[in-house]
Structure 1
Amino acid sequence: MLTMSEIQGKIIKELSKKIESLEIELKQQKKENLQINKFLYETYTREENVLYHFKKIKEKYEALKHSKLGKLTIKYWELKNRR
């Protein structure tokens, strides 16, 4: 028959093993979260860059569209692209 201190020792060892495994799992989850956040940040940065360039191109197009020579140029390309 096991004594009380032996039972407590076994329980402590089992709990220590559980704690170690949970700490390892926590570290892995933190790494995964860090990788996901890094990926999301990079994706967000790329999207912002694309939107910025699109906005600049759109501004140039609008300026061209509203000028006299620009209107003529746009009509020319519309006709040329129809053929």
Structure 2
Amino acid sequence: MQKDLEYTEEAWKEIQNTAATDAINQIKTLQLEVNKLKLEKLQLQEQLLQAYKNELHLLHLHKVLLSKYNALRKSKLGKLTLFYWKKKRRIFGGK
């Protein structure tokens, strides 16, 4: 009877150790997964920020180009140049 009791106590301790080890391994695995997801989120945020900066730069360039076009369009020589380009496009094709 005493041996059976010792055996069950040893078995119980082994089960507890195994369960604790499994829980620790599962926690480590989940922590690695969380870290991986955080890194992925950070990379996506950096890509989004870079795309936003690129879009702002392109909008600025468009604004500058549009102001130059409007200045050209309003001048006398600019009107003549735009008329020439329009006729040239019709004759030779293009947009």
TM score, norm. by length of structure 2: 0.76
1:43-82 aligned within 5 A: 43-82=51-90
| Rg comparison, structure with higher value | 2
Task: Give me the identity figure in percent.
Answer: 37
**Which shows bigger deviation, 65-74 or 55-64?**
65-74
Deviation at 1:70, TM superposition (A): 1.3
2: distance between equivalents of 1:27 and 1:8? 28
1:40-61 deviation per Cα after TM superposition (whole angstroms, max 9, x unaligned)? 1111111111111011001110
Two-structure CA RMSD over aligned residues (Å): 1.4
TM score, norm. by length of structure 1: 0.85
Q: Which runs of 5+ in 1 are unaligned?
A: none
RCO comparison, higher one (Cα < 8 Å, 6+):
1
1:1-80 aligned within 5 A: 1=8, 2-3=11-12, 5-80=13-88
Residue type at the aligned position of 1:68: K
Q: Which runs of 5+ in 2 are unaligned?
A: 1-7
